[in-house]
Structure 1
Amino acid sequence: MSGVLWRVRVFAGQFGLLAALALVAALLITAAPRLANDLSDRALHEDVARLPYSGRDITLQQRPETLDADPTLSGAVDAIPAHRDRLPAPLPGLVSDGWFTAGLEGITFPPSGPRTFLGLRTQAGMAERVRLTSGRWPANSAGVTIVEVALSTPVAEQLGAQVGTVLEVTPNQQTGPEGGLVRFAVVGVFEPEDATALPWDTIRLTFVPFPGLPGIPDAPAAAQAVTDGAGLGVAAPRLGSPVLSWRYRIDENRIDGALLPSVTTALSEVKRTPPAPGMTASAGLDATLVQFDGQLRAVSALLAVVQAGLVATLLGLIALAATLAVERRREEFALLRARGGTIAAIGGRTLAESLVVLPLATAAGWLAGSYVPGRPAATGWLVVGAGSVATLAIPVLAALSQRRLSFTARRQDLVRHRPSVRRLTAELFFLLVAVLGAYLLRRRGLSPDGSVDPYLASVPVLLAVGAAIVALRVFPWPLGQLGKLAARARGAVAFLGLARAGRGAPVTIGPLAVLVVAIATGIFSGVVMSSIGEARDRATDLEIPADAQVSGYAFPSETTDRVAAVPGVTAVAPVTIDPASSYRTEDGATSTVQVALVDAAALARVIADSGVGVSPPPALVDARPGGGTVPALVSPEVAAEAGAGGVATIRGHLYDFTVAAVADAFPGVPAASGRFIVLPRQALPDPAVIAPDLFLIAGDASAEALRAASAPEAAEGVTVTTWADRRQALDETGANEVLSFTFTTGAVGATTLALLAVGFTVLAGARIRGQVLSRLRTLGLSGSQGRGLLVYELVPLVTIAVLAGGLVGVFLPRVIAPALGLSNFTSGAAVRTALDPLLVGAVLVLVVAALAAAVVVENVVNRRMRLGEVLRVGEEGS
């Protein structure tokens, strides 16, 4: 054992290098998935937390015929935990709170003010969440003739009702019986203790009444009064069937990426089979979780590809470092063989040395990675595999190097330019495996069942190594031509450097494959990042083909002129969208469709001034009034049904149209259903009769000014979204942090490992290069010419690696695109390969950095070998 430890101490530099690489490999395998899981879980929590209650909570509703069995609704309140526990797993454990609410709808004509839809609500625990400003809280009993209610201060002001006022409420004809009448006695006026508290989400009209739509006299106001359970039970027989609602809040901090499939399945199940008979369930969270799960699967595929490339590069570096270590001990192993030592004995000797250091280094990397925040991933077997490769690298290479006993130094500057049939067969088989893997990856995807197939995840690495093999077989001819040109030129440095490179030093399959994999991984990360960015730009152009979008509902006709007059606005295009309209074909068939009116001529001006990358079809832009029918753009599905044209309905108005263009989408008009008709507003005979719902605006006007101009009386009901806001939202929602982490890991890791590969290549050839330089120094070779000789040797290796790795990295996203699912990050926009000019510049910088690093490493090695003091370096052991 002491002899093993002594040899480990003697070769501490070699084992230290291998230990560092093994530690980094184990750390990368363990830490990267954990950190990605932590980022994805936090992004999931943020996405769920920003959802409104309707898209987050589970709501169970019943509409009983009578409340005879529970006239005070106390039993319904007590059922909150029971209904929660009947939810399918794992939903009960994810619920953080629950509330019960019951409600009725009526119409009241108050002493003053407009006609109002007045709802009556009761909610468990409401009395503890309010502050009475006057009067008292309702206290009803069975059989009362006047229902006591409480109003918030804004509702009391809107209804003109203070404490003591009696409101006569008639049933809503859509929800209640005819002829009924209920009197509400206002006994208290209150203000909420915390208006942002979760229990108020479904009854916001209780303290934020709706005043009606300005400029539309037929639009009634809306408000809600509150009472206790007994009061609602008294009013129910005359106002209609009450709606009983149990709402459960899903705690976002209890959901993680591993639970997404089970939670999505449970939410779908509860909507199909509610916990009790006669109950309906709504849960909008599953749509968000499905979308996030799609992004998570896509980013997991990307991370698997990047991680496979980095781990493969690290394993290649371990092999290069082990080869270097074995080469440095070549004389030792040859002497052992000469003294009768077997190959197994040499392998066992080096294995004992490796077992002292490398398993501990691997365990240290795994332990350090386990402290990284995030859920652990099932990568333990990869850590064991990487540790085994690092531990067995030197023993296996040492045994292989001694299969033939040799007492003389090998000529390391000679290679066989005609590879054996066995090697060519192996290379062809490797290429076949890589191509087959790419085909299967396109057909099956990387993770069809949520797991990652190791073979399919390694396909990008196989393709990169295959590209290195092809490059190794192709490059000798152009390199030979360059050597002939260098032979005719003045000076010997270029000729000698290219001649050594042409004889295989240092362009061999090992260093070349490692470099190609590293460069392909980095370029792949950069290309995917720029491609996603370009697709997001196109998606934003299609959603908001303007500098800003102002959306609301039924803006008055004069709003267009007011918005156009805002300082900074250069063009305005009004748009009206009716998502649930209909059209009639020429043969009389009627079908549901989304109909939109767009001033296409104004939209063309908005697009031109905004500089976005979309355009409306000329048939709509050039349309003018007259002619009876108007040209229309329709979706492919509608085009197949409508034929040449039909009659479209929007807001009760009928318009004859002819199909002038067919497209999957129209700029500025969302169409989730895929069935839509777009009519040119400027071609209608009476466009002013249909109020616009949104405006597309060009210019640099402020959001506040646009909001104030579009709705001066109710600006809070208007939303202003700029192109930049929407583009930024695509970068910040979903699993984008994991996506950025993946790109950063791929780019930084690949660059670092590529530089290390060049350094190892220099170290591997330092011995023979030292001999050459020592001889050339006697012939007058200067130090700068010696460094130039190294550069000429490495330029072919780096150039070939950049070309092969660059081609693989650029075309790899297109080859395996179906397996990546990148459209999950781009609002469905197709991701096309886009090469950022900055990426090309970064590759050139990497080439320069690699050559500079090689020169630095060479100078350090030469100083250690005392090249200036020794005439024939490296021959003392020959």
Structure 2
Amino acid sequence: MTPVTAPWTRTRLRAAPGAAVALAVLVALTACLAAAFPRALDRYTDAGLRRAVDRAPADVTGVLISAAPDPGVGEATVEDSLRPRRLADAYRSVLGLVEHPLAVDEEQSSYGVRTTESLPSPDTWLPRPDGLPAEMVLVAPQDLDGRARLRSGRLPKVPGGQADASTTEVEAAVTEETARTLHMKVGSVVHIPGRRELTVRVTGIVTPEHPDGAYWSVDPVLRTPSLRRVPAPAGAPSPTYWVGGLLLAPEAGPALLGSAPVVRYWNLAPDPDALHARDLDGLASAVASLESGPALQQLHSAVSPLTDATTGLDDIFTTYGQLRDDIGPLIAVAASGAGTVAAVVLLMTGGLAAGRRRAELALLRARGASVRGLAGRLLAETAVVAVPAGALGLGAALLALPGARLLPAVAAAVAVTAVACLALPLRAVAAHHAVRIHEGRRDATTPRASRRRVVAELTVVVLALGAVEILRRRGATDGAGDLVAMAPVLVGVIAALVLVRLYPLPLRGLARPARRLRGAVGPLALARAGRTSASAVLPLLALLTAFTVAAFGGSVLSGVADARDRAAVLAVGADARVEATTETLPSGLSDRVGRVPGVREVTEAAVDWLARTPDGRQSVPLAAVDPSDYAALAARTDLGAFPGGRLARPDGAEGGSEDAVLPALASPAVAERLGDGAFPLRLADGTFATLKIVLVRERTPAVYGDEFLVVDRAGLPARSVRPSVLLLTGDHLDAGALRRAADGAGSVRLRSEARDKYVDSPLQSGAERIYTAAVAAGAGYAVLALLLSLASAAPERAALLARLRTMGLTRAQGRRLLVLESLPQALLAALGGILTGWAAVRLLSPGIDLTTVAMAATTSPVGRAELRADPWSLAVPAAAVLVLAVGVAALQAWWSGRRGAVAELRAGDAR
């Protein structure tokens, strides 16, 4: 055979370079997004776990392993076990028993010998705030010289290099804060009584290298003295005393045996860089093994039978795991929806390419090309473009998001590339499996679908309905986690198949009476719109899935924002709050604050936190307010709105007459406790007021908590109603300006600042960003699917307009024809999208709790944050689809009108 001079692939790429470039861009972008998703997921989940560990105290996150001296052994053996060499050997044994994936940060870990309790010192030169002696914790830590800088004196040492239980004098170092607080200096001597009095001489003052690190923070008293209180009965005075730390030489551990019980300790600090959310189960297992599992049994054998291990890491891992599990379904919904829309677009791209080359492929089959050979050539042709593009997208994702797992990103990019490579060959094989000499007109449609297609569609619908029913019954958190992720796709599949089948029926019914109308544009548009087409399922599925994800995502973001806003308003009471740091606010402060830019209204309140019933047994916060202003504020903030006239003081109650009964607003708890009759209340200044509860509300702006009373301040004595709280309403309030106006007379809190505090974990902010990106990507691919759908029909529409123009159709009529023809399908997509989005939200809302996403906690001050359909998330995409479909149709009609009818007919015939 004569060799082919121009290979197939090179020839085809040169024949259609624009299509090849478009495919490469689409594959590169999709592969980049697909590879970026798991890497972004890894990054923010890891950051959330590390933040949870970093924010916890060091004594909670560290693993504290301690061992008392072995019982039943000689004194020499006990002393030897407390020496640095034996402690270092045990430290290496402990490190070897820590199971993967838990890793230890040796830079922050420590070990040594210490007393089990603080010991009182009789030295009177040590400070005694309430006459109680100061107490000391004696520790012989290892590697002190590497963890602290010497400020004065020298580091402690042991004369002769070795101490034992009979040693009565040792040297110690103290930190700068300990020296300053306890009046120590180089040369100070501290006496520690015990079985054998121990004299400790301070030889050096040191500064910790990393004072916030685990080495110094596991037992903060070694770094900073602590002022503690002696437990006392309620109401009795509680005297205080100081507790400080003395840092002995590493070799001085045995000297502590003569003073108090001692333990060997090994504080293991976790390495934050080695914490990964994907290893959460393994981390929990490693911690459990150290606390009460195989690792602890091995510690008993290697170190001592009295070895014990304690840590708070297991609680941190449990709390974080619950937060991650609550957020996971939301991310899965976004990922499955956006992924489905992207896959549909790739399939439609292959279908569009197969349709564009329909005549060429049919000719090849008629001339003897095999199905396998044709598919192989098309696969090679597509792979030459898609594989480098997919690799480029993967590389971009790896560079943009470093520090995450490689394998999931590679798998995602390979999946995208595979779909892009196989779309054209499979579509061509399906269309040209049988050799056809003449295919007929493209605009002619079969009046009835084939039985195979009907059976396939019914099967898919039945399976999807069954899955949706299982999801509805089980909920999102009861064994249906995988179905939650597929909810948008399931609802979209059902809606797409049903709507494609049903929507032509009413249009066909309208086509017959429309014939009576004047003109041919309306009847022709209805007739063409009423034709069914199998190719309409994929774009409609893409649009409906994107609608569902957008509606669900908008509802999630709206629910989270609403929960945070409600919690912030409840915490502050208004847009800002100025509260007295003493008893009352100075006069004139309300006017100064009111002049700050952005402040619209200032509502004063006098809050008495010490109001009590006459017997003094029950206390309840009392807010004295102006009823009309306060009622307006409560209505604006939606915190217990009430008619202001109901709280107005009665006639004769001016100036605080104790005989007059003031109407009061109360919380449910207070109303139940005090009843509906009149009762006296003793105020903080000693005066009395008689109140009667006439209104009950769960919340009120001026007072936090579930117990409060609100009355008209005009009915109380003037000295009892001096403002202590200012509640401000306004937009874009300046925190700095408000604090300058308050001038230290009161604390200033803003609703915006309180709201920001609820975003406590990268797990929350990362989930919101990923969800927003997924919704945006799904919307972009849905628009692309719509454009591809219109592009696939563009040649046939252009040829139709050209034929009709030869029959006298004007350009204006041509534009109206295409717009009217596209309107039913656009309306179908818009209404179907609203329906599917609403259905998905209703379907998933019972099983999805947004509280953890909004508040970073399982509970919220405003109750459970529920998922509700957001009207804007339903309406905006629907309007966008209508505008886009109509705009593209009008643009196509305008463009076709610029070309001559003969040229357009030739182009249409060529297609």
Residue of structure 1 in register with 2:211 after alignment: 196
Q: Is the 8 A contact 1:547 1:722 kept in 2?
A: yes
Q: Is the 8 A contact 1:347 1:395 kept in 2?
A: yes
1:783-822 → structure 2 map (5 Å cutoff): 783=811, 785-816=813-844, 822=850
Indicate the larger mover: 261-270 or 494-503.
494-503
- Aligned-residue Cα RMSD (Å) equals 5.2
Residue of structure 2 in register with 1:326 after alignment: 354
Residue of structure 2 in register with 1:599 after alignment: 621
Shift of 1:92: 4.3
Residue of structure 1 in register with 2:875 after alignment: 840
TM-score when normalising by structure 2:
0.71
Amino acid aligned to 1:837: W
Shift of 1:224: 0.3
Shift of 1:99: 0.9
Amino acid aligned to 2:525: G
Q: 1-side partners of 2:506 and 2:220: how far apart?
A: 76
Q: Is the 8 A contact 2:153 2:205 kept in 1?
A: yes
Pick aligned residue for 1:209 from 212, 217, 225: 225
1:671-820 → structure 2 map (5 Å cutoff): 723-778=751-806, 781-783=809-811, 785-816=813-844
Residue of structure 2 in register with 1:61 after alignment: 66
Amino acid aligned to 1:763: A
Partner SS, residue 821 of structure 2: helix
Q: Is the 8 A contact 1:351 1:395 kept in 2?
A: yes
Q: 2-side partners of 1:242 and 1:681: how far apart?
A: 55
Residue of structure 1 in register with 2:903 after alignment: 870
Residue of structure 2 in register with 1:131 after alignment: 150
Residue of structure 2 in register with 1:119 after alignment: 136
Matched, 1:437 2:441: no
Residue of structure 1 in register with 2:108 after alignment: 97
Amino acid aligned to 1:265: S
Q: 1-side partners of 2:631 and 2:204: how far apart?
A: 52
1:258-407 → structure 2 map (5 Å cutoff): 258-273=278-293, 274=296, 275-276=299-300, 277-336=305-364, 338-339=366-367, 347=375, 350-351=378-379, 353-354=381-382, 356-366=384-394, 368-371=396-399, 372-373=401-402, 374-378=404-408, 384-402=414-432, 407=437
Shift of 1:730: 3.0
Once the two structures are superposed, what CA deviation does each residue of 1:193-250 show, in whole Å capped at 9, x if it has no partner?
5462522213433453345689996340323041415767556654x42354321221
Q: Is the 8 A contact 2:586 2:745 kept in 1?
A: yes
Indicate the larger mover: 94-103 or 251-260.
94-103
Q: 1-side partners of 2:702 and 2:135: how far apart?
A: 37
Matched, 1:831 2:866: yes
Partner SS, residue 250 of structure 1: coil
Q: CA 1:398–1:834 in structure 2 vs 1: closer, same or farther (change >3 Å)? A: closer
Q: Is the 8 A contact 1:442 1:817 kept in 2?
A: no
Shift of 1:485: 8.8
Matched, 1:81 2:92: yes
Indicate the larger mover: 561-570 or 746-755.
561-570
Q: Is the 8 A contact 1:292 1:734 kept in 2?
A: no
Q: 2-side partners of 1:873 and 1:270: how far apart?
A: 81
Pick aligned residue for 1:852 from 879, 887, 892: 887
Q: 1-side partners of 2:292 and 2:583: how far apart?
A: 46
Shift of 1:105: 1.0
Residue of structure 2 in register with 1:511 after alignment: 539
Q: 1-side partners of 2:618 and 2:588: how far apart?
A: 25
Once the two structures are superposed, what CA deviation does each residue of 1:362-381 show, in whole Å capped at 9, x if it has no partner?
45545554555221244666
Indicate the larger mover: 344-353 or 240-249.
344-353
Q: Is the 8 A contact 1:208 1:223 kept in 2?
A: no
Q: 2-side partners of 1:511 and 1:527: how far apart?
A: 24
Shift of 1:858: 6.2
Q: 2-side partners of 1:77 and 1:572: how far apart?
A: 62
Partner SS, residue 196 of structure 1: coil
Pick aligned residue for 2:202 from 187, 206, 225: 187
Partner SS, residue 42 of structure 1: helix
Q: CA 1:71–1:877 in structure 2 vs 1: closer, same or farther (change >3 Å)? A: closer
Q: 1-side partners of 2:339 and 2:533: how far apart?
A: 26
Shift of 1:668: 13
Q: CA 1:382–1:193 in structure 2 vs 1: closer, same or farther (change >3 Å)? A: closer
Q: 1-side partners of 2:66 and 2:576: how far apart?
A: 40
Residue of structure 2 in register with 1:591 after alignment: none
Once the two structures are superposed, what CA deviation does each residue of 1:767-820 show, in whole Å capped at 9, x if it has no partner?
221122113334554545534433332222222222223332343244245776
Partner SS, residue 238 of structure 2: coil
- Structure 1: segments with no counterpart, 5+ residues: 171-176, 552-556, 577-594, 635-662, 672-677, 684-694, 711-718
Pick aligned residue for 1:44 from 46, 49, 59: 49
Shift of 1:464: 0.7
Residue of structure 2 in register with 1:581 after alignment: none
Pick aligned residue for 1:4 from 3, 8, 26: 8
Residue of structure 2 in register with 1:579 after alignment: none
Q: CA 1:328–1:707 in structure 2 vs 1: closer, same or farther (change >3 Å)? A: same
Q: 2-side partners of 1:812 and 1:160: how far apart?
A: 69
Amino acid aligned to 1:42: A
Partner SS, residue 119 of structure 2: strand
Residue of structure 2 in register with 1:520 after alignment: 548
Shift of 1:251: 1.6
Amino acid aligned to 2:867: R
Shift of 1:296: 3.7
Q: 2-side partners of 1:288 and 1:667: how far apart?
A: 34
Pick aligned residue for 1:425 from 444, 452, 455: 455
Pick aligned residue for 2:273 from 248, 253, 262: 253
Amino acid aligned to 1:252: P
Indicate the larger mover: 347-356 or 438-447.
438-447
Alignment size in residue pairs: 785
Shift of 1:670: 12
% same residue? 25
Once the two structures are superposed, what CA deviation does each residue of 1:716-773 show, in whole Å capped at 9, x if it has no partner?
xxx9986544432333514124313322322221222122122112211112211221
- Structure 2: segments with no counterpart, 5+ residues: 594-602, 611-616, 648-657, 670-696, 712-723, 859-863
Amino acid aligned to 1:122: V
Residue of structure 2 in register with 1:686 after alignment: none
Partner SS, residue 70 of structure 1: helix
Q: Is the 8 A contact 2:841 2:869 kept in 1?
A: no
TM-score when normalising by structure 1:
0.74
